[in-house]
Structure 1
Amino acid sequence: MSVLPALLPADPHTPFPPVEQALRHPDGLLAVGGDLTPTRLLNAYRHGIFPWYSKGQPILWWSPDPRAVFRTDGVRLSSKFRRGLRHCDWTVRADSAFAQVIEACAHIPRPGQRGTWIIKDMIQAYQRMHELGHAHSFEVFADGRLIGGIYGIAVGRMFFGESMFSAQSGGSKVALAALARHLYDWGWPLIDAQVENEHLVSLGAERWPRRPFLDAVEGLVDQPGLVGPWTQRVGDWPACRLAEPGTG
């Protein structure tokens, strides 16, 4: 039985083990322990590693192979869905409701899933990352009500998606597509989606072997990014624009 490398919480600068040492079963499990300080989290994402664990477990760190990845010009919305957006009055914003988005992602019921991995410690850690300008959310509003959203971590020109939710049909699709549209316009080519599922694949997620993914990440995280709130940069963006030809 393999023994996982243990990270010491006293030193968030401790390097992660090489991702090639990650287990095959369960796929991508790399290390255990450590902490969720901004220093450690940024170090993890820069190397294509993310935390994922449940209540009662120690912090577990992952780098799966293959990886689910969206090209920002490759998010797919069906023709029927696009047509429905033409006269839609939904509004998209960024970083205006981060706490509500992460709480919704933590608590919204999901088919086949019991409980949540977005536990209190994770919420607090990513809220801190948001306050420091590294974690961001895209939110979808209808008549002033939050109906969908997505959040993740930005490092350089790489966006690492964490979770998304819908409180109304199509809310998460619009959040993802709007995020992709804006990132594409800013010159950011990829969104990490971590582990594939049928829903992500239906929206255009691709399966990338770990090494090409990490090579792409390495070339993007050192480029000039956008640290700080994205609220004014995005403004009140009409979701109906996703019905136009182009990204999303």
Structure 2
Amino acid sequence: MKTAVVTGASSGIGAATARRLAAEGFKVFCAARRSDRIEQLAEEIGGVAVTCDILDDADVARLAETVGGHVDVLVNNAGGALGLEPVVNAELELWDRMFQTNVIGTARVTKALFPALKEARGIIVFVTSTAADAGYEGGAGYCGAKAAERSMVESMRLELFDTDVRITEICPGMVATEEFSLTRFGGDQERAEKVYDGVPDPLTADDIADTIHFMVTRPHHVNLDRITIRPRAQAAQHKVYRG
């Protein structure tokens, strides 16, 4: 049985990806900070829950020990956005947290699991964002963090060109999940809902999970370097139809 590790598996894209991979026969290690959620998810899908804060060296070391020496798929999904203030009003503590989770934490997990991925001739999927493409008003901190994560992807692909580990990236646009915008706006439900106000059929977490499954099940000689995925209503990062 092939194995997959999904970080940030307690909700949204991470939980949907864990469910999809498990449905396709993978043994899924569900990693996240919220133990109750991943334990429930792991029980549902026949996976393994691993409580893990990707900012904590000991937690990540325990994750690597738990999954063992053979990992076919790593989905680096943990991360997220915080705040939407212009640079001159930036809450730099939030910027630091975004960089720590999206970049440093992701690098920590990748480094810890790489020997097991190399042993398995595995594949890494980095869940970045269309925010990595360019800046937008209020997005400097998040765009910068995701651009840095993309730089890690691009560097790794060059550094590992002579190994059997595939390095891939999926860049979602507008995905309506239960927590992403709510977390970004500090629990402000009304403000979170306005992000998708009038947008017909934004993407769902299942749409992203479906595409991640497609990416990791291509023949080994096929590397999907980067997939940008948006709802039809989002023609570009700055141009969205609202009915």
Common fold by TM > 0.5: no
| Higher RCO (CA-CA < 8 Å; seq separation 6+) | 1
Q: Which has the higher strand share?
A: 1
TM-score (norm 1): 0.28
Bigger fraction of residues in helix: 2
